[in-house]
């Protein structure tokens, strides 16, 4: 009985301590409250900077509150993040620390509330894998510049888009129009595919690219149900189930931490996968094209350029990109032309263009049967991209069947 009395005493003391600490945190939170973020509208925004994981928690207290009156708020949240809305208690707890560099899943950030020295701790920098002591986070040292993945380094998708627009204005040659050079192409080499071993590698150098209506973070998202990874998932399923190929779909988010390092990061993935699975014969890097417009009218015009009607359904047009500095440039062009020919036969109007970049390699020199594919553009809808993924799977499947020895 005496022990129980002491236990009860300490439980009461602990409860009082929790209440006092919570009150203190609420007081600090009140002192630093940012009125600009205290709106219901912000509950549906991208929560500014910070990690995607923190974003899932820090703003949803408002959604919980709104959901009592508008049940569709919960549906919208769960559709956006692909998970259930965290409990009211979790949302309340996380909201207390919102904007105070606090990550509920990282205990190291707790100390910033207790020790002043920890106030300089940059949690996001650590989450982004920028710790110089972390061997896995270091970028590879490319001593052989013949294998550098690209000629130009862009720090954002918009910057890359602007550069491409400038190049196009300068009559950048593309296959399928008058500007293209007349080069006779031979058929690609035949493929010896081992059915029981991986033969196709699908990956995404720019994995966070999204379609309409997912315009959050300038058409970028970590949610694989929103971004271009879903295109790769559909292709993987069809190539395996319908054509019986063994496919590796690598969903590493190579552009998550640095857009400029995307191709260096995807180069590491390709090297690792080919070393682990030397049976891989085909590499397909799946993107969606970028687009920037001045107004809605221009957006509608540009969208129509990237949209086809196939068998009565809208589809996002397919483009290929080839880096001219690859040692196997002729083989890459032959494979792209062969795929285009099959696409034109099966689904007339689906193919858009093949872009020959001014310079660069884009990691296309590891396999002659490599494609850098752009499925639609920013303003193509999610459904159009998914439909194109099905059509492209049929094209690739038929092509590989024809090229098998």
Q: DSSP string of 236-249? A: HHHHHHTT---EEE
- Say what the pLDDT of residue 157 is: 87
Kindly state whether residues 266 and 332 are assigned to the same domain. Answer: yes
The answer to whether residue 194 sits within a structural domain is: yes
Q: What is the CATH number of the domain that holds 385?
A: 3.40.630.40
Kindly state whether residues 113 and 176 are assigned to the same domain. Answer: no
- Say what the pLDDT of residue 4 is: 58
Kindly state whether residues 217 and 358 are assigned to the same domain. Answer: yes
Q: Rounded to whole angstroms, how far apart are CA atoms 323 and 372?
A: 9
pLDDT in tens, the chain (405 residues): 555 566 666 777 777 877 777 777 666 555 554 443 333 333 333 333 344 444 455 455 555 666 655 655 566 555 554 556 666 665 555 545 444 444 444 454 444 444 444 433 333 333 233 333 444 445 445 556 567 676 677 888 888 888 777 766 654 444 443 333 444 578 999 999 998 899 999 999 999 999 998 887 788 899 999 999 999 999 999 999 999 999 999 999 999 988 999 999 999 999 999 999 999 999 999 999 987 777 878 778 888 999 999 999 999 999 999 999 999 999 999 999 999 999 999 999 999 999 998 888 999 999 999 999 999 999 899 999 999 999 999 999 999 999 997
Kindly state whether residues 380 and 278 are assigned to the same domain. Answer: yes
Q: Rounded to whole angstroms, how far apart are CA atoms 136 and 272?
A: 13
- Say what the pLDDT of residue 122 is: 37
Kindly state whether residues 204 and 286 are assigned to the same domain. Answer: yes
Q: Rounded to whole angstroms, how far apart are CA atoms 325 and 302?
A: 30
Q: What is the pTM of this model?
A: 0.65
The answer to whether residue 141 sits within a structural domain is: no
Kindly state whether residues 128 and 176 are assigned to the same domain. Answer: no
- For residue 63, what are the domain limits? 32-135
Task: Quickly list H helices, 285-328.
Answer: 296-305
The answer to whether residue 13 sits within a structural domain is: no
The answer to whether residue 158 sits within a structural domain is: no
Place of tokens 């219901």: 40
Q: Rounded to whole angstroms, how far apart are CA atoms 105 and 305?
A: 45
Q: Give φ, ψ of 322 to 5 degrees.
A: -130, 130
Kindly state whether residues 209 and 95 are assigned to the same domain. Answer: no
Q: Rounded to whole angstroms, how far apart are CA atoms 287 and 202?
A: 11
The answer to whether residue 254 sits within a structural domain is: yes
Q: Rounded to whole angstroms, how far apart are CA atoms 393 and 389?
A: 6
Kindly state whether residues 124 and 171 are assigned to the same domain. Answer: no
- Say what the pLDDT of residue 399 is: 98
From the list 34, 85, 80, the residue with the least C-alpha distance to 61 is: 85
| Close Cβ partners of 280 (under 8 Å, ≥ 6 residues apart) | 198, 199, 200, 201, 248, 273, 274, 367
Kindly state whether residues 289 and 238 are assigned to the same domain. Answer: yes
The answer to whether residue 20 sits within a structural domain is: no
- Say what the pLDDT of residue 29 is: 57
From the list 277, 285, 268, 270, the residue with the least C-alpha distance to 136 is: 268
Kindly state whether residues 222 and 105 are assigned to the same domain. Answer: no
Kindly state whether residues 193 and 267 are assigned to the same domain. Answer: yes
The answer to whether residue 368 sits within a structural domain is: yes
Domain final residue, candidates 91, 114, 135? 135
Number of domains in the chain: 2
Instruction: Give ∠ CA 263-266-272 in degrees, rounded to 5.
Output: 140
How many beta carbons lie within 10 A of that of residue 244, not counting itself?
10
388, 369 in Cβ contact below 8 A? no
Kindly state whether residues 49 and 180 are assigned to the same domain. Answer: no
285 sits in which H/E element: strand 282-289
The answer to whether residue 240 sits within a structural domain is: yes
């Amino acid at each position: 009985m005496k022990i129980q009395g002491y236990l009860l005493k300490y439980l009461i003391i602990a409860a009082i301590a929790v209440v006092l600490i919570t009150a203190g945190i609420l007081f600090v939170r009140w002192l630093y409250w940012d009125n600009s973020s205290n709106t219901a509208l912000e509950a549906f925004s991208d929560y500014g900077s910070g990690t995607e994981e923190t974003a899932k928690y820090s703003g949803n207290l408002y959604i919980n509150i709104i959901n009592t009156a508008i049940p569709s708020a919960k549906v919208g949240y769960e559709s956006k993040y692909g998970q259930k809305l965290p409990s009211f208690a979790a949302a309340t707890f996380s909201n207390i620390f919102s904007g105070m560099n606090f990550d509920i899943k990282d205990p190291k950030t707790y100390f910033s509330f207790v020790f002043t020295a920890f106030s300089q701790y940059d949690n996001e920098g650590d989450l982004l894998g920028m710790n110089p002591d972390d061997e896995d986070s270091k970028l590879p040292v490319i001593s052989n510049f013949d294998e550098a993945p690209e000629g130009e380094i862009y720090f954002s998708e918009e910057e890359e888009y602007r550069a491409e627009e400038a190049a196009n204005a300068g009559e950048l040659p593309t296959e399928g129009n008058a500007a293209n050079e007349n080069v006779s192409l031979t058929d690609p080499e035949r493929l010896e595919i081992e059915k029981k071993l991986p033969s196709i590698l699908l990956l995404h150098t720019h994995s966070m690219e999204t379609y309409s209506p997912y315009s959050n973070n300038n058409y970028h998202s970590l949610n694989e149900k929103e971004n271009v990874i879903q295109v790769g998932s559909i292709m993987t399923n069809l190539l395996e189930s319908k054509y019986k190929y063994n496919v590796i779909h690598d969903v590493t988010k190579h552009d998550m931490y640095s857009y400029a390092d995307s191709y260096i990061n995807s180069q590491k993935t390709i090297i690792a996968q080919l070393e682990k699975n030397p049976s891989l014969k085909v590499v397909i890097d799946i993107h969606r094209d970028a687009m920037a417009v001045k107004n809605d009218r221009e957006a509608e015009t540009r969208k129509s350029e990237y949209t086809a009607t196939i068998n009565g359904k809208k589809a996002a047009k397919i483009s290929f990109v080839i880096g001219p500095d690859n040692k196997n440039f002729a083989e890459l062009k032959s494979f792209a032309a062969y795929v285009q020919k099959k696409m034109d036969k099966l689904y007339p109007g689906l193919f858009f263009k093949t872009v020959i970049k001014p310079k660069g390699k884009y990691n296309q020199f590891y396999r002659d049967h490599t494609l850098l594919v752009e499925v639609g553009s920013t303003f193509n809808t999610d459904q159009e991209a998914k439909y194109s993924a099905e059509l492209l799977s049929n094209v690739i499947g038929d092509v590989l069947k024809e090229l098998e020895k």
